[in-house]
Amino acid sequence: MLRYYETPYKRDVSDPPCIWQHGSARVLDYGQRITDPKAVVLFIPSLINRYYILDLEEERSFLRYLASQKIYPLVLDWGQPVADEKNFNCGDYVTEILLPAIDFIAKISGGQVALAGYCMGGVLALAAAKLKPRKISSLALLATPWDFHCPEFAPFVLEKKWQVEMAKLIDNKKTLPAEMIQSMFYLTDPFLFEHKFRRYAGLDPNSRAAKDFVALEHWVNDGVPMTSGVAHDCLIGWAQENKLMKIQWRVAGKNITPPSPALPTFIAIPKNDHVVPFDCALPLAIAAKHAVIIHPSAGHVGMIVGSHAKRELWQPYANWLLN
């Protein structure tokens, strides 16, 4: 652990140009050098993690790889909640930020936009596709949660009286610190923290594996605070009441359902995901009977930046998008 803290690290990748902004949210342009793009895709990350897991390093960048395939990649960097967002819930982020960003991209590109949502971002992308169907050409859902009452999460489903108490605690805060959110993920596997640092201790400090570990840990620990409204949606509505699976989560007056058969949909469910367990994501894929479904061998983060990410996710998604 001490060696990790003593390891110097700086992400040596520059942000691309910002082409749209609302508060601290920005749309970053990874395709500015592409003159004749074959598709335009907007990536939507989780509200509570930084977008740059999709662009961790020059050679480990999902976004830069897509640009090399003549696909025009954009990413929505949510930033941190600003004053106007303190009362936002997940639906507000969709209607007040994501939908205007889609409108802007559709206008300047002159066509429809492909959406790709990662983790919680997949749920937000699904809502946007429901609300703006004419502006969305396709939808990709990457490690997207749906059924929070799956076996792996069952121990964390509280009795109703404790759900009420949890809701009160959340509502008493304007934002939940990133450290608090991170600790909740560790509860799903209490020994994960110990095991990963034991593995790191056995690595050559100058090895590729050790450098990758440090880069990923910096991203993991560079979290974003969660507004109380978002926390209420995620920790009570989705996790405790299972509103996604029950089709009870509403945005702009509409119940958010699995993607329509008319919308081309690509779904990636990693086999070894400890953040969004396989059985949490699978019911959404089953409900989207028309979807193309892949199962990368890695975990939640490894699927995006691991040693097999290019072969198991980047290439399959690019090929699907272009065909």
**Amino acid type, 92:** D
Structure tokens at 150: 């799956």
Q: By the 8 A CB rule, do 25 and 77 touch?
A: yes
Rounded CA-CA distance 77/93 in Å is 12
Structure tokens at 189: 């596997």
Q: By the 8 A CB rule, do 30 and 37 touch?
A: no
Radius of gyration, alpha carbons of the chain: 19
Q: What is the pLDDT of residue 189?
A: 56
Supply the DSSP symbol for 17: -
Model pTM? 0.89
Q: Determine whether 301 is exposed, middle or buried from the number of CB atoms within 10 Å of its CB (0-12, 13-18, 19+).
A: buried
Structure tokens at 225: 């605070």
Which mean pLDDT values do the consecutive 10-residue runs of the chain (323 residues) have? 54 89 96 91 96 93 97 96 90 98 97 97 98 98 97 85 79 68 55 55 60 71 87 93 98 97 97 94 96 97 94 98 93
Q: What is the pLDDT of residue 13?
A: 86
Q: What is the pLDDT of residue 2?
A: 45
Residue 142, classed as helix, strand or coil, is: strand
Q: What is the pLDDT of residue 1?
A: 47
